[in-house]
Structure 1
Amino acid sequence: MTTTEQTTTFPMARGACPFDPPPALRPLREHRPVSRVRLWNGTEAWLVTRHADVRAVLADPRLSADMRTPGYPLISPARAGRAGQDTPPFIVLDDPEHSRLRRMLISDFTMRSTESLRPMVTGIVDDLLDAMAAGPRPVDLVTAFALPLPSLVICRMLGVPYGDHEFFQAVSARMLTSASAPEEVAAASDELRAYLRGLVEAKVDDPTDDLLGRLVQRRVRAGELSVDEAVSTASLLLIAGHETTANQLALGTLVLLDHPEQAAELRDTSDPTVVVRAVEELLRLLTIVHNARARVATEDLEIGGVRIAAGEGVLASSESANRDPEAFADPDRLDIHRAERHHVAFGFGVHQCLGQPLARLELQVAYPALLRRFPDLRVTRDPDELDYRSDKVVYGVREVPVSWGSAGKGSRRSPDPVAHSAA
């Protein structure tokens, strides 16, 4: 058993490359893989940086995900604001509450259920690319494509009017800004929940054939789910459903354009394996949930040879784990043929992202379609000069101005190799 006395401030600053994790993570992973860090409010926690240890943390039931547990590490003022919610989302609850709520949603996020959405996703992608091709250039890829795609998809799935997207995107931005004051985050959360409560209560009397409508009719009316729990679940799905995929899509496009040979191969391939592996590689490389997944020990235990006492907070760094050379050969290099799929971009264990099949589907459709439609797509500003969202819970980029040589000269409805493979 070993301990360490050195303490580092967390979160850490990013370096020169906007696609890489903070450079300070590397020496920690190599020399002090379980180390003490100091948070914004003066409290301390253990930071875990090796891939094997991160997976062990996320799979250990002795480490609680419940934000209300004493000692839970609140890594930002915004997180402190969310910790005060009366009905937390199931992702920050422990079993049996976590499993009870998660089971009510699983049928909508199976591989089979998600695959049935492919025609809808493909249609949305084509329509957005049509609008890009017909509009002025340069155009912001984030507002024209990366953000509306997952927003439209999750709105249709949930039964939330897309016409209200400016409201819920603005509210979620306030909730996910790390420096937001706790009271500001709490107020934004209350606004979103009040909006969603109106939708949920309307669906009690007026059933709709969407995820929220089915949840209300099958669970709320049966007394298995409270209205507050339904609202909390809707809030989680709505925010996660558009924020994460939008930022992954924008950042991933920047990375691909920085690697033109691999972008061309993804654009021209008819091999579904290439598309699937390319998406997994971009998920691994970027790891946009970038400020670690928080846990707190409910009993004494060891991680990587270090004793963790009951009541101490633990932060599992997914972005460090996904660059661990013990888990991935040459981990800082983009390789769209990389076969390993044991990255932790979606987490690991019982709390791993419920919506990951949907995110994968959207990315598998979107990246190749964008590159086919605009084969000479280019960023009109130096990527180093773009405004990256390091102040957010989800890492990303605020604006990506792009242009191309002629109006949508590529194929509008090229074959989707992953769809053909699934069929």
Structure 2
Amino acid sequence: MQHEATPRPEPTEPIDPAEPVTLPTRRAAGCPFDPPAGLAELRERAPLTRMTYPDGHSGWLATGHAAVRAVLGDPRFSSRYELMHHPFPEGAPDGPLPPAPVGDMTGMDAPEHTRFRRLLMGRFTVRRMRLLTERVEEITAEHLDALERQGPGTDLVEAFARPLPALVICELLGVPYADRERFQRHADTVMTMDVAPEERYAAMTGLQEYMAELVAAQRAEPSDDLLGDLARDSDLTDEELVGIGGFLLAAGLDTTANMISHGTFALLAEPEQAEALRSDPDLAPQAVEELLRYLTVAPTSVRSALEDVEVEGRLIRAGESVTLSYEAANRDPARFPDPDVLDLRRKATGHLAFGHGIHQCLGAQLARVELTVALPALLRRFPTLRLAVPAEEVPLRTGMNIYGVHRLPVTWDTP
């Protein structure tokens, strides 16, 4: 699966970038780490292309790094769900998207977003997240012990990648880890693209009902964790605290879990890169940034223009939606030389795996801590770690909002 470095290809035919396209979603067989092939072709033609949405809306697709970053950093583009058009044929609603639930910061604009962001930023600073490193190391060691006890052939997703960030976010928020089957089921349903809208809303309601029980308990007797702090010290209403709690819990579960499992898959496909990370502990922070860029497990988002805006020489009209392909932007050769090569020594600063602008991932530093601890520790504990099945049999999460693998059976040599 090693990609060879190649010069930036030239377009083979003159194509009008205003000619509408649909969003490429099919990944090439045998290339589980690469974005859908059509994205690179479109990016080479133009970084911003006319796109036809499943509901017939005529909007845009941004694939170039500079174009995606420009839209993310411009307040004239809205994140409100009810203003945007759904880019995927799977799970597309019959009518307009509903507004974001209370507390869902992804679907907010200023000033509502600013209020919540300011309230939470001090609790997710780089310094505070780094203070969690020792606890993350303890949790990682405990789960590596459990993985070793289960023995070769174990599914790394269920034994290691999912429980580690789940336990960390539960402890940070003050959510009982023993309830994980209940809230994980709801979170999985919400993140599935082709689930029926009524099923998704039922899962969201279930998650909110669960958080409402926790908030009521925190109001009665606040604990020494994030939910307790917010219940005691903020002016959030119960509805807002329920929404924020559910949003942070769901956000902390899925993305990091898939980066651990899919990152491991990528490293096992590149033994030289895995050995570099195993043998050089100081490489870990840099390696994590490259894996974030290379894999981009949160591949897409949408913005809608609030007024006419010019981006990359193209006029985006008020009301038009723009689909942002982070996975295409993070493989843009105009920003990252030889972008299809996984190189853990690359300076991958400037990648968009966590977004950019006011909606840049609030938990980015927490994810970095977890990945920087978990991946090298896994490789050191199991120096002969390898897939227990052929790579083509690893089931990919192609129908999910967060890309990765459903299962990753692994094996290793035992004494």
2:248 paired residue number: 237
For 1:52-71, what aligned pairs fall within 5 Å after superposition? 52-69=66-83
1:282 paired residue number: 291
Superposition deviation, residue 21 in structure 1: 0.3
Indicate if the aligned counterparts of 1:3 and 1:307 stay in contact, CA closer than 8 A.
Answer: no
Q: Deviations over 1:320-351 (max 9, x none)?
A: 00000000010000110011310000000111
CA–CA distance in structure 2, aligned partners of residues 86 and 261 of structure 1: 45
Consecutive unaligned residues in structure 2, runs of 5 or more: 1-14
Aligned CA distance change for structure 1 residues 75 and 227 (closer, same or farther; 3 Å):
farther
Give the TM-score taking structure 2 as reference length. Answer: 0.92
Superposition deviation, residue 252 in structure 1: 0.5
CA–CA distance in structure 2, aligned partners of residues 326 and 136 of structure 1: 45
Aligned CA distance change for structure 1 residues 79 and 65 (closer, same or farther; 3 Å):
farther
Indicate if the aligned counterparts of 1:301 and 1:309 stay in contact, CA closer than 8 A.
Answer: yes
Indicate if the aligned counterparts of 1:3 and 1:306 stay in contact, CA closer than 8 A.
Answer: no
* Secondary structure class of the residue paired with 1:7: coil
Superposition deviation, residue 85 in structure 1: 4.4
Q: Letter of the aligned partner of 2:329 in structure 1?
A: A
Among 117, 132, 136, which residue is 2:147 paired with?
A: 132
CA–CA distance in structure 2, aligned partners of residues 115 and 82 of structure 1: 38
Among 60, 64, 72, which residue is 1:50 paired with?
A: 64
Among 315, 322, 326, which residue is 2:323 paired with?
A: 315
Q: Deviations over 1:388-421 (max 9, x none)?
A: 00110100100000011016xxxxxxxxxxxxxx
Indicate if the aligned counterparts of 1:78 and 1:176 stay in contact, CA closer than 8 A.
Answer: no
Among 305, 327, 343, which residue is 2:335 paired with?
A: 327
Superposition deviation, residue 142 in structure 1: 0.2
* Secondary structure class of the residue paired with 1:347: coil
Asked if 1:7 corresponds to 2:20, the answer is: yes
1:23 paired residue number: 37
Among 177, 181, 197, which residue is 1:162 paired with?
A: 177
Q: Letter of the aligned partner of 2:20 in structure 1?
A: T
Asked if 1:360 corresponds to 2:368, the answer is: yes
Aligned CA distance change for structure 1 residues 114 and 88 (closer, same or farther; 3 Å):
closer
Q: Deviations over 1:285-324 (max 9, x none)?
A: 000111x221100000111111110010011111000000
1:112 paired residue number: 127
* Secondary structure class of the residue paired with 2:26: coil
2:390 paired residue number: 382
Aligned CA distance change for structure 1 residues 355 and 238 (closer, same or farther; 3 Å):
same
CA–CA distance in structure 2, aligned partners of residues 79 and 113 of structure 1: 39
Q: Which runs of 4+ in 1 moved over 6 A?
A: none
1:206 paired residue number: 221
Asked if 1:253 corresponds to 2:264, the answer is: yes
Superposition deviation, residue 41 in structure 1: 3.0
* Secondary structure class of the residue paired with 1:24: helix
Superposition deviation, residue 45 in structure 1: 2.2
CA–CA distance in structure 2, aligned partners of residues 84 and 310 of structure 1: 19
Q: How many residues align?
A: 397
Among 87, 111, 118, which residue is 1:96 paired with?
A: 111
Indicate if the aligned counterparts of 1:146 and 1:249 stay in contact, CA closer than 8 A.
Answer: yes
Indicate if the aligned counterparts of 2:277 and 2:287 stay in contact, CA closer than 8 A.
Answer: yes
Asked if 1:185 corresponds to 2:196, the answer is: no
Give the TM-score taking structure 1 as reference length. Answer: 0.91
Indicate if the aligned counterparts of 2:79 and 2:304 stay in contact, CA closer than 8 A.
Answer: yes
CA–CA distance in structure 2, aligned partners of residues 392 and 79 of structure 1: 13
2:47 paired residue number: 33
Q: Letter of the aligned partner of 1:334 in structure 2?
A: L
Q: Deviations over 1:113-159 (max 9, x none)?
A: 00111111000000000011112321000000000000000000011
CA–CA distance in structure 2, aligned partners of residues 44 and 22 of structure 1: 21
Superposition deviation, residue 43 in structure 1: 2.8
Indicate if the aligned counterparts of 2:100 and 2:108 stay in contact, CA closer than 8 A.
Answer: no
Aligned CA distance change for structure 1 residues 227 and 156 (closer, same or farther; 3 Å):
same
Superposition deviation, residue 31 in structure 1: 0.7
Q: Letter of the aligned partner of 1:49 in structure 2?
A: T
What percent identity do the matched residue pairs reach? 45
CA–CA distance in structure 2, aligned partners of residues 86 and 166 of structure 1: 23
